[in-house]
Amino acid sequence: MDLTLELGIDTFGDVTLGPDGRPTSKLHTGDAVTFRVHYRAHERVERPVFGLAFYNLEGVLVSGPNTREAEVVPDFIEGEGIVELTVDAMMLLPGTYDISASLYDYAIVHPFDFRQRAVRFDVDAGIPHETFGGVMSLNGRWRTAPGAVS
C-alpha cells in the first residue's frame, strides 16, 4: 500500500509491510506489520514529530501513535529518509481501516504536513480469531472451571 503526501517540505510516502516484509493492503489480526513512511525534506526540520492515526470506516480513532511519545525524535531531518512503526502483533479486528499521516514540529503545534485518511487497508480474521464486534482484540485467555464458586 502506497501513500504520497505533499509536505511543506516535499513528499512523504507510506507503505505497509506485511509479515513477509512485502508491501500489502491486506492484513490479518495478529500479524506482525511495519508501517513505513518515506520522506523528502527540501529544508532542514529540527526535532520533527511523525505521527500515524488509524481510523475505522465509521471515523473512530483507533490509535494515534507518534514519535515524540515513543521518545524516538531525530535531532533533525533533511533530504530523504524513512521512519517506521513496527507492530509485533496487530490486534485490529476484521474490517477496513484508514491511515492518516502527519509531520509536526516538536511542540506538535505547527504541521508541516497532514494527510487525512490517505491510505486504506483491510484486516481479515487471524489469530486470535475474533469476529463478533469491536475494533481490536484484547488478546486475552479464557479459562473455565467446573464446580461451585467459593
Q: Is 59 helix (H, G, I), strand (E, B) or coil?
A: coil
pTM of the model: 0.85
Query: What domains, with CATH codes, occur in the chain?
Result: 4-124 (2.70.50.60)
> What backbone torsions phi and psi does residue 142 show, to the nearest 5 degrees?
-90, 150
Tell me the one-letter amino acid at 42: H
Residue-level pLDDT at 1: 33
The predicted pLDDT at position 15 comes to 63
The set of long-range contacts for 59-62, using a CB threshold of 8 Å and a minimum separation of 24, is 60/135, 62/92, 62/97, 62/135, 62/136
pLDDT per residue, tens digit, the chain (150 aa), is 333 333 444 444 556 777 888 888 899 999 999 888 888 888 889 999 999 999 999 999 999 999 999 999 999 998 888 888 999 999 999 999 999 999 999 999 999 888 888 888 999 999 999 998 899 999 999 999 998 776
Amino acid at 57: L
Is 19 in contact with 32 (CB distance < 8 Å)?
Answer: yes
Residue 81: per-residue pLDDT: 86
Asked if residue 32 lies in contact with residue 90, where contact means CB atoms within 8 angstroms, the answer is: yes
Alpha-carbon separation of residue 22 from 32, 93, 129 (angstroms): 12, 21, 23
